[in-house]
A and B are shown apart, each in its own frame.
Chain A
Amino acid sequence: MMKKISYLALLFGALAFTSCKQTQEVIYDPANVEILVLNDSSKAQSAAEVRMYDDLDAYSNSKENGVYEGFTAKATTDASGKVTFTKLNPDKEYYFLVEYRDRARFVDLNNYDNTFKFTKNLSKGSNSFAEIQLNQAKSVVGFYVPANMQSNLPVKLYLINDTSAITITSITNGVPTTPTQSGVKPYRFSAGTTNWYAKSYKGCFWSGQIKVGTTESFTPIGLSACYAGSVGFKADSLNKNNLPIKVTLNNADVIGTIYAVAKNGAVTFEPNVISAARDTGTYNYTAESLKSNCVWQGKVKITNGATQVIVLPKCN
Chain B
Amino acid sequence: MKKVILISTFIINSLVGYSQLERKLAITAAVAMPSFSAAGNIQSENIYKGYSGLPGLRVGLQYNFNHNIGVGPIVSQYFGSKPNYNLTMTQFGLGVKYNILPFDKVISPFITAEADLNYVTVSQKANSVTEVPASNSDKEEIVLTSQVRNYPEIKTGFGNTGVVLGAGTDFTLKKKYTLFVSASYLVTNALKTFTSTSLFTENKSDLRFLILQLGMRFSFGQSKSLY
Contact = CB atoms under 8 A, between A and B. Distances in A.
B226 interface: no
A128 B147 CA distance: 4
B147 A115 contact: no
Interface in A1-49: 2, 5-6, 8-10, 12-17, 19-23, 26-29, 35-36
Q: Majority SS of interface residues in chain A?
A: mixed
Interface residues of B, number: 50
Contacts of A21: 155
B184 to A, nearest CB: 19
Nearest to A16: B90
Interface residues of A, number: 43
Interface stretch (A130-138, A141-149, A178-186): A130-138
Contacts of A219: none
A114 B61 contact: no
Contacts of B136: 120-121
Contacts of A197: none
B119 A121 contact: no
Given A17-B119, A20-B121, A6 B148 contact: no
B155 A20 contact: yes
A129 interface: yes
Contacts of A15: 77
A124 interface: yes
Given A20-B123, A26-B152, A96 B142 contact: yes
Interface in B119-149: 119, 121, 123, 133, 136, 138-149
Given A16-B119, A19-B121, A118 B142 contact: yes
Nearest to B220: A1
Interface string B1-36: 100110011001101100100000001000000000
Contact of B150 (A23, A28, A117, A121): A28
Most A CB within 10 A of own CB, among B16, B77, B147: B147
Q: Majority SS of interface residues in chain B?
A: strand
B151 interface: yes
Contacts of B225: none
Nearest to A30: B150
Given A19-B88, A23-B199, A116 B142 contact: yes
B29 to A, nearest CB: 10
Interface in B165-186: none
A117 B142 CA distance: 6
A125 interface: yes
B143 A5 contact: no
B143 A133 contact: yes
B12 A5 contact: yes
Given A10-B5, A28-B152, A115 B123 contact: no
Interface in A177-199: none
Given A9-B75, A125-B151, A23 B156 contact: yes
A13 B199 contact: no
Contacts of B145: 36, 129-131
A17 B3 CA distance: 13
Interface in B95-116: none
A29 B150 contact: yes
Interface in B64-114: 75, 77, 88-90, 92
Most A CB within 10 A of own CB, among B57, B88, B139, B144: B144
Contact of B139 (A114, A125, A129): A114
Contact of B147 (A27, A36, A127): A127
A152 interface: no
Given A117-B140, A120-B136, A124-B201, A129 B147 contact: yes
15 contacts: A2-B19, A5-B12, A9-B5, A13-B75, A16-B88, A16-B89, A22-B156, A114-B139, A120-B133, A121-B147, A123-B202, A125-B151, A127-B149, A128-B147, A130-B143
Interface of A: 2, 5-6, 8-10, 12-17, 19-23, 26-29, 35-36, 96, 114-121, 123-133
